[in-house]
């Protein structure tokens, strides 16, 4: 039976501080198919969970409880794990009015949360004995900013070493906007599921028809089709912004046997519409709402877990 993939974006950013163990624990207890999260690598080669390449002023406070100031945000790749651990990322800075309005005011603060490692996320799931939960883990590489991350192959080596350590090869999907890391992942372990993330920036090409995000592929060689290009890059799943999903894209992806899992869908209307045109799953900041919509559409719900002592 096909199982619809309910993915908790950054653990459930609308209700818990993003990319924290508090958020991932919430999602596990709620009942999701997949934990979606973002990865960076520290100076001492630890894989940590953070969306941004820096400790952001709207998310992080120092050891004295002071919010980082805009323009003075430390780069994670230039810091050791111990240095990253000195910051508290348990809530949104109310001084960042727009982000607070969209996310912070709805979140339940965790009190104190350090930036977690990928190993800690795997260990948390094991503590819950949540054997059905999968992981959609994003390599945050930036073609225009090599100072923010290791080279793609080194990045993937570090990530897959943790995956191997916990025996999560069959439960992990590696996703990226930077398709160089998909190719690197495929070279390191052909069995790992690869997910091609796309947005409008990925589709912007230079005068030679190339985008720095698409690992040297020219969309013109694929008739302008991002679906065909993703397949050529070795991706198993296509993950576009939900606004970019069309019936034509779905038809093409179905022909190529490539499931489509859009990001990031947070309202009932869009969830329902996308489910009805056949997406294989959805990534959402509000996994509780998505569970409700799935129930309304008579889709099987993923199990919820309680923490084991």
Q: What is the pTM of this model?
A: 0.97
User: What's the length of the chain?
Assistant: 309
Beta strands in the chain (DSSP E): 5-9, 34-41, 47-49, 134-139, 172-176, 193-198, 237-240, 281-284
pLDDT at 1: 41
- Type and span of the H or E element at 287: helix 287-296
CATH topology of domain 5-296: TIM Barrel (3.20.20)
Q: Render each residue's pLDDT in the chain as its tens digit; 309 residues.
A: 458 999 999 999 999 999 999 999 999 999 999 999 999 999 999 999 999 999 999 999 999 999 999 999 999 999 999 999 999 999 999 999 998 988 888 888 878 999 999 999 999 999 999 999 999 999 999 999 999 999 999 999 999 999 999 999 999 999 999 999 999 999 999 999 999 999 988 877 777 778 999 999 999 999 999 999 999 999 999 999 999 999 999 999 999 999 999 999 999 999 999 999 999 999 999 999 999 999 999 999 999 999 976
Choose among 183, 172, 111, 113: nearest CA to 141: 183
pLDDT at site 309:
67
The domain locations on the chain are 5-296
Q: Which residues pair with 223 in a beta bridge?
A: none
Q: What is the pLDDT of residue 208?
A: 77
What is the Cα–Cα distance from 78 to 218, expressed in whole angstroms? Answer: 33
The first and second tokens of residue 72, run together, are: 């003075």
Per-residue b or e along 161-182, where b marks 16 or more CB atoms closer than 10 Å to that residue's CB = ebbeebebeebbbbbbbbbbbb
pLDDT at position 2 is 54
Three-state secondary structure call for residue 143: coil
Cα–Cα distances (Å) from 208 to 26, 212, 223, in that order, read 46, 11, 15
In angstroms, rounded to a whole number, what is the distance separating the alpha carbons of residues 124 and 116? 11
From residue 56, give the alpha-carbon distance in Å to each of 51, 87, 115, 182.
9, 10, 12, 26
């Amino acid at each position: 039976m096909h199982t619809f993939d309910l993915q908790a974006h950054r653990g459930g950013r609308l209700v818990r501080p993003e990319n924290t163990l508090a958020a991932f624990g919430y999602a596990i207890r709620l009942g999701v198919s997949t934990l979606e999260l973002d990865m960076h690598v520290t100076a001492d080669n630890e894989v940590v969970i953070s969306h941004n390449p820096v400790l952001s002023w709207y998310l992080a406070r120092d050891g004295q409880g002071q919010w980082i100031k805009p323009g003075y945000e430390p780069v994670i790749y230039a810091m050791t794990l111990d240095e990253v651990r000195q910051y508290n990322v348990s809530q949104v800075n109310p001084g960042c009015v727009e982000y607070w309005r969209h996310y912070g005011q709805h979140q339940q603060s965790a009190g104190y949360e350090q930036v977690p490692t990928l190993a800690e996320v795997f260990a948390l799931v094991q503590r819950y004995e949540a054997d059905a939960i999968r992981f959609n883990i994003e390599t945050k590489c930036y073609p225009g900013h090599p100072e923010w991350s290791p080279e793609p192959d080194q990045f993937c080596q570090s990530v897959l070493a943790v995956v191997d350590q916990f025996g999560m090869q069959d439960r992990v999907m590696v996703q990226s906007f930077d398709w160089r890391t998909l190719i690197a992942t495929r070279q390191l372990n052909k069995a790992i599921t690869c997910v091609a993330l796309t947005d409008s920036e990925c589709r912007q090409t230079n005068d030679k028809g190339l985008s720095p995000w698409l690992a040297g592929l020219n969309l013109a060689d694929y008739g302008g089709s991002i679906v065909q290009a993703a397949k050529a890059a070795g991706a198993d799943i296509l993950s576009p912004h939900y606004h970019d999903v069309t019936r034509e894209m779905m038809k093409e992806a179905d022909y190529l046997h490539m499931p489509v899992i859009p990001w990031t869908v947070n309202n009932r209307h869009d969830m329902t519409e996308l489910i009805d045109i056949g997406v294989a799953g959805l990534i959402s900041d509000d996994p509780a709402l998505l569970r409700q919509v799935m129930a309304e559409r008579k889709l099987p719900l993923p199990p919820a877990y309680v923490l084991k002592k």
